[in-house]
Amino acid sequence: MLIYALKRGALALLVAFTISLVAFLLLNFATDPASLMAGDEADIADVELIRKQFGFDRPLYVQYFSWLGSVFQGDFGDSLYWRSPVVDLVVRHFPVTLALAGSSILVTILVAIPLGAAAALNPNTLIDRIALSLAVAAQAVPNFWLGVMAIMLLAVTFPIFPVSGAETWWHFVLPAFVLGLSSVPSVMRLTRTGLLEVMASDYIRTARAKGYRGLGLLRRHAMRNALLPVVSILAVQLGEKLGGSLVTESVFAINGLGRLAIESIIGGDVPTVQMLVFIFALTFVLFTFLADLLNAWLDPRIRLG
């Protein structure tokens, strides 16, 4: 297990390093930080002065390793738009996005796994067709449209939930539902497929011969093996939601990392956008790595692959 973890960890670090390099190069090719800092009214001499003062005139590889070294020391640089350290912005906004992502994954689990299990236990029946139809509908509906409809129906017409904000857990119900519903189709189909394969295996037939049926059969014999691919995709979805909540946070006016990213992009704040891209990518890689370890623990055969 240790050797497997070290191999996966080394691969995760390599992926994170590659992503940070690509993000740095793309952002620096796309815009000129010195011009943004100088403002629209500055002349060429002012821009060149700022470029030399902040080291933007150095080769890109020198700038990259200088930035990477600062990141390892906990220095994320200063925001050009917000005029404050980027680390302060991240610390202030990250808990909100983490709460939203976590609650949305909980919604996915509570909706997708029961639907997938019901479809697998009743293949080619009305229950199966209804579950698959709900998955297709959830995949077809855009997040921004569903968010607006949820606000109009459940926050304006029937004022059950708050329209916006993130002050209490009640504020997260609607955005978590909207964000979590987008992951339901893939998780539901994987659960259904995994359970159908497991239910056709010999040890399940033996369990049925011993009298196990329904939920007892699922809980004691089928779920552990059937949920191996589900664990992986849930970890990937959690990492994706930490970096992909931009639209949902904007619709519900939630002041998290997603909204911070949009405002920083609009404001041309390269250091903040650069750091957010790196954090989103690193989080995605981290959760994927943890999913690999969990799968290896659940199924020892994976370690030998």
Same domain, 64 and 128: no
* Contacting residues for 191 by C-beta, under 8 A, at least 6 apart: 112, 113, 115, 116, 117, 120, 226, 227, 230
User: Are 23 and 170 found together in one domain?
Assistant: no
Into how many domains does the chain fold? 2
Q: Does any domain span residue 82?
A: no
Q: Is residue 270 part of a domain?
A: yes
Question: Which pLDDT value is given to residue 106?
Answer: 92
| Same domain flag for 185 and 280 | yes
Residue 110: predicted pLDDT: 92
pLDDT per 10-residue tile (average), the chain, 305 residues: 73 81 77 68 73 75 82 79 84 90 91 88 86 85 87 89 85 90 88 82 72 67 73 80 81 87 80 84 81 72 60
Domain match, 194 and 271 both: yes
Q: Within a domain: residue 130? A: yes
Question: DSSP of the chain, one letter per residue?
Answer: -HHHHHHHHHHHHHHHHHHHHHHHHHHHHH--HHHHHH-TT--HHHHHHHHHHTTTTS-HHHHHHHHHHHHHTT---B-TTT-SBHHHHHHHHHHHHHHHHHHHHHHHHHHHHHHHHHHHHSTTSHHHHHHHHHHHHHHHS-HHHHHHHHHIIIIIIS--S-SS--SSGGGGHHHHHHHHHTTHHHHHHHHHHHHHHHHTSHHHHHHHHTT--HHHHIIIIIHHHHTHHHHHHHHHHHHHHHHS-HHHHHHTT--SHHHHHHHHHHTT-HHHHHHHHHHHHHHHHHHHHHHHHHHHHH-GGGGG-
What are the DSSP calls for 268-292, one per residue? T-HHHHHHHHHHHHHHHHHHHHHHH
What confidence score (pLDDT) does residue 39 get? 66
160 assigned to some structural domain:
yes
Same domain? 101 vs 60: no
Q: What's the confidence (pLDDT) of residue 1?
A: 67
Q: What CA–CA distance (Å, rounded) separates 303 from 305?
A: 6
Instruction: Quote the domain boundaries for residue 66.
Output: 2-72
One domain for residues 132 and 48: no
- CB atoms under 10 Å from CB of 244, counted, come to 17
Q: Is 78 contained in some domain?
A: no
Residues 6+ apart with CB under 8 A from 273: 27, 261, 264, 265
Please indicate, yes or no, if residue 81 is contained in any of the structural domains: no
Task: Say whether both 274 and 153 belong to one domain.
Answer: yes
Q: In this structure, is residue 188 part of a structural domain?
A: yes
Q: Specify whether 94 is located in the same domain as 13.
A: no
Are 23 and 93 contained in the same domain? no
Q: Model pTM?
A: 0.80
Instruction: Mark whether 94 and 239 lie in a shared domain.
Output: yes
Distance between CA atoms of residues 66 and 25, nearest Å: 13
Work out the burial of residue 135: count CB atoms within 10 Å of its CB; fewer than 13 is exposed, 13-18 middle, 19 or more buried: buried
Let me know if residue 77 belongs to a domain.
no
